[in-house]
Amino acid sequence: MKLKVYIVNAFTEEKFGGNPAAIVPLKTWLSEKTMQQVAAQNNLSETAYFVPQGEDYEIRWFTPTVEVDLCGHATLAAAHVLYDHLGYNREQIIFHSRSGPLGVSREGNQYTLDFPSKEPVETGKDEMIDKALGLRPRHLYKSAFDYMAVFENQAEVEALKPDFNILKNHASRGLIVTAKGDQTDFVSRCFYPQSGIDEDPVTGSAHVVMVPYWAKQSGKNTFTAIQLSARKGYLNCKLSGDRVLISGHAVTYLEGEFYL
């Protein structure tokens, strides 16, 4: 069996920026074992698969080691494939997922994700996180998926050199670190060694946690954000009731075929 695959860099306008996702359009689902094996072979932070569901689509996301419940950059990348490569022409795509229905629209060459807001709850200090980061955050929060550490400034976030051997044993999906930005409203980095990804280049799903936090801190509901990985990602975000709108660009890197 021969299948199409696209590699799309999300949240960037640069060919080698943003977060690369492998996108595999399907007519019917492959076995879970096969989808996990393909994701491990691709060895990107996520491989996304989608199948038609009436006028909508179902979507699933796999890291090299596990299936995840929510992924922003690969959803944006999947929408890019549908719009730019597969002739989709409706105003909005609805993806049905483990996290409910997710909308993606396009205006010009920018895509907007409509995701559920996941406001974090402040928690006490965590010695394992402190040790893994080598620095105690100003505040520590917990969300539905991840912990979020808030630091004093962008320089502290940039300087972090986590011990991933410690962090991968932490009882969470991963760790978001964030601070006010120097040239943007806020910045972040995201670490997911528990899911086989030491540092994720750009993490759309982390922004459903950060946006309600920064909205409460600032009194604003629209934000510019940069994820400070080596590849960097650029996002525009808006808190809209119980939803977070996350906008960014996408660039196709590869279109090909693979064999099963």
Q: Which residues are catalytic?
A: 46
Buried b (16+ CB within 10 A) or exposed e, 20-53: bbbbbbbeeebeeeebbebbeebebbbbbbbbee
Question: 């099963």: which residue's tokens?
Answer: 260
Q: Kindly list the distances between the CA atom of residue 168 and the CA atoms of 134, 139, 247, in Å, as whole numbers in the listed order.
A: 15, 21, 30
In this structure, what token pair is assigned to residue 173?
């999906």
